[in-house]
A and B are shown apart, each in its own frame.
Chain A
Amino acid sequence: MIYVIDHKDSFTHNVVHQFSLFDDVKCDDFSKINKSKLNQASTIVFSPGPGSPKDYPLSSKIYKEFKGKKKIIGICLGFQQILFSEGAKIVQQNKIYHGFQSEVLVNKSSKLFNAGSKFKVGRYHSLKLKEPFQAENFDITMRCAISGAAMSFENNIDKIYGFQFHPESFLTLNGKLLIKKILSA
């Protein structure tokens, strides 16, 4: 079972819908997390959401508790939430991407996707990862083809994955494939 932690976003149920194509999915509000569902889940997904990771200490706590024990996936805010919990700084960007389709480029450090391949993806983020960023076993594996901003990471040791963009958006072509790959990793 996949447990989606909802940060009160208007895209969370697109995520639920997409993951439901692969497994049983349950979804609860981040402030109403059910312990037994959390324990039963094989995968935890941190949803997109408004605001910044510092607004969701409960989600950081869950991340730290289950890191290395379950597969963890973060999308948009969820991506930032995981990196923030690993000590990263999340900062405002000059150019803001809301409802924007752009191209991301896979680099050599990806184990799941071919280096050099490109994806058209939908973006909804005001904030971004401040770089340089380093954490053990974490690699930034996709970047915006234009700005170079971090768009995806992989931690293949602890099975932790994240996308800054929205694989569930209609603006993302091949979103299903991206999810399939990280779920089977």
Chain B
Amino acid sequence: MNKKNYLNSINNSQKPFIIYKTIKGFDLFTDFSKKIILNNQNIKHFLNQNHSSKKKYKSTDLYIGFFGYELLNNLIGIKVPRQKSINFPKGIFYKPETKINLKEDLIYESQSTHKINRNFKINIDQNLYTKIFDKFKKKIRSGQTYQIKICTKYKNKSQIDPLDFFCRLAKTNLAPEAFMIKDKNYSIISCSPENLINKKGSSISTKPIAGTLRKTKNINKRKALNFFKNNIKETKEHNMIVDMERNDLSRICIPGSVKLKKEKSVEEYKDLYHYVSLISGKLKEKVENIDIIKAMMPGGSVIGCPKISTLNLLNNQEKENRNIYTGSFGFIKFNGDMRFNIIIRSILNYKNISEISVASGVVIDSNAKHEFNENFIKAKALIDLYK
């Protein structure tokens, strides 16, 4: 098949497919022979499946898909109170039979003729945001949490061409954990920058991001590093996340093996700089993939710290289901290797309703107005696709 027209033909075929960023380009997965809708009952069975008896693996010997936020809470014994919900599945995984490598520059011409609605509604206005913010600040003062992320949601109704959105997003904002899913009644378009689990054999690493700086003409990588280093608030937030991720890896790794490989470095992306650390470890012998998922998910950097008490505070505050937001997308290979990201900077389009969730952190010295605007800036890159 001519690769140039491949994206157009797969899109026209109406077959569900998934695209996931790789180091050099993208992998496209399709021809799904199985689709597993996850719930609290079947997730343990799904994660405990053992395929590792095989000697030779094909590149399609894997399950690819996502865990939603609520499912990951329930998996570690945290209840989410009854919330407003669109009844979107809690998690879905697919078994692909075809995998295609794509180059970084995706060529696709949308033939969609639907008019796109550009107006979004936000679920928490600045007033309400400030109230929640002040409440959480009190919780920080009394020591119940040290850092907590307030989530706001932007919604609109429109019929979109997800592949067109994804290709445009990949041009303006090429993120290392970008992915898209197109299925019959839903799609996800994401430019997630954050890797949560990278497991190969007994090696595991995680790469938390805490700290974002917009690119301008006057800033280069070195200046960005200085900005982060001299910004006490960003530094403290980042430190907290590093210690929390060290902790989560320590649950499943051999004592002494958890190492901070890269401490507070700057990574440069098309529009922004991220403050990033890399932590790695060697897995203990008897650790199963389910233990790894339970130790690492939901990813701490997008929740706050300490994880359990902060999740409880969030769940009691939030009136709407987070769905995919702050869940994880990725794959589990039949040989046991895994790669998962954190689902942020993403659009969920379900039954022609789009939702974009964003969050920013409350620490003791953050400012409500600043964080509210920060949320909008994060959403804007995605909202701008609606034209």
Q: A interface vs B, CB < 8 Å? A: 8-14, 16-17, 20-21, 49-52, 77, 92, 96, 98-101, 122, 124-127, 166, 169-171
Residue of B nearest to A14 (CB): B247
A-B CB proximity, top 6 nearest? A20-B255, A99-B236, A99-B239, A126-B143, A10-B306, A99-B240
Looking at B41-49, B52-60, B144-152, B328-336, the stretch in contact with chain A turns out to be B144-152
**Contacts of A14 on B, CB cut-off 8 Å?**
243, 246-247, 250
Residue of B nearest to A76 (CB): B143
A99-B238, A171-B239 known; A10 vs B305 contact (CB < 8 Å): yes
Q: When the two chains form their complex, are residues B240 and A13 in contact, meaning their CB atoms are under 8 A apart?
A: no
A99-B146, A127-B143 known; A12 vs B243 contact (CB < 8 Å): no
Q: When the two chains form their complex, are residues B146 and A49 in contact, meaning their CB atoms are under 8 A apart?
A: no
Contact with A along B328-367 (1 / 0, CB 8 A): 0000000000000000000000000000000000011000
Check: B242 CB closer than 8 A to any chain A CB: yes
Q: When the two chains form their complex, are residues A13 and B142 in contact, meaning their CB atoms are under 8 A apart?
A: no
Residue of A nearest to B363 (CB): A98
Residue of B nearest to A9 (CB): B306
Complex CA distance for A125 and B306, rounded to whole angstroms: 12
Out of B144, B236, B306, name the residue touching A100 (CB < 8 Å).
Answer: B236
Most chain-B Cβ atoms within 10 A of its Cβ — which of A52, A101, A169?
A169
Most chain-B Cβ atoms within 10 A of its Cβ — which of A77, A96, A166?
A96
Q: When the two chains form their complex, are residues B248 and A11 in contact, meaning their CB atoms are under 8 A apart?
A: no
Complex CA distance for A49 and B146, rounded to whole angstroms: 10
How many residues of B are counted as interface, with CB atoms below 8 angstroms from the partner's CB atoms?
37
- Chain B contact surface mostly: helix
Given contacts A21-B256, A166-B243, A169-B239, 15 further A-B contacts (CB under 8 A): A8-B306, A8-B308, A10-B244, A10-B306, A11-B306, A17-B253, A50-B145, A50-B309, A51-B142, A92-B141, A100-B236, A122-B243, A125-B143, A126-B141, A126-B142
Contact with A along B123-151 (1 / 0, CB 8 A): 00000000000000000111111110000
Q: When the two chains form their complex, are residues A98 and B146 in contact, meaning their CB atoms are under 8 A apart?
A: yes
Residue of A nearest to B306 (CB): A10
Complex CA distance for A126 and B138, rounded to whole angstroms: 11
- Chain A contact surface mostly: mixed
A51-B144, A98-B147, A170-B260 known; A124 vs B250 contact (CB < 8 Å): no
Most chain-A Cβ atoms within 10 A of its Cβ — which of B235, B251, B253, B263?
B251
Q: When the two chains form their complex, are residues A13 and B306 in contact, meaning their CB atoms are under 8 A apart?
A: no
**Contacts of B255 on A, CB cut-off 8 Å?**
16-17, 20-21
**Contacts of A126 on B, CB cut-off 8 Å?**
140-143, 146
Check: B300 CB closer than 8 A to any chain A CB: yes
Check: B237 CB closer than 8 A to any chain A CB: yes
A10-B307, A13-B250, A169-B243 known; A98 vs B256 contact (CB < 8 Å): no
A52-B143, A99-B238, A126-B141 known; A17 vs B258 contact (CB < 8 Å): yes
Most chain-A Cβ atoms within 10 A of its Cβ — which of B141, B240, B244, B258?
B240
A10-B247, A11-B306, A14-B246 known; A51 vs B143 contact (CB < 8 Å): yes
Query: What are some 27 contacts across the A-B interface (CB < 8 A)?
Result: A8-B308, A10-B243, A10-B244, A10-B247, A10-B248, A10-B300, A10-B308, A11-B306, A13-B247, A13-B250, A14-B243, A21-B256, A50-B306, A50-B309, A51-B143, A77-B143, A96-B140, A96-B364, A98-B147, A98-B240, A99-B236, A99-B240, A99-B363, A100-B236, A126-B146, A169-B239, A171-B243
Interface residues of B in 244-293 (CB under 8 A from A): 244, 246-248, 250-251, 253, 255-256, 258, 260, 263
Q: Output the least CB separation between B310 and chain A (Å).
A: 8
Q: When the two chains form their complex, are residues A51 and B309 in contact, meaning their CB atoms are under 8 A apart?
A: yes
Complex CA distance for A91 and B247, rounded to whole angstroms: 27
Q: Output the least CB separation between B34 and chain A (Å).
A: 35
Residue of A nearest to B252 (CB): A13
A10-B305, A96-B140, A96-B141 known; A16 vs B250 contact (CB < 8 Å): yes
Q: Output the least CB separation between A42 and chain B (Å).
A: 18
Most chain-A Cβ atoms within 10 A of its Cβ — which of B247, B248, B310?
B247
Q: When the two chains form their complex, are residues A17 and B236 in contact, meaning their CB atoms are under 8 A apart?
A: no
Q: When the two chains form their complex, are residues A99 and B247 in contact, meaning their CB atoms are under 8 A apart?
A: no
Complex CA distance for A92 and B253, rounded to whole angstroms: 35
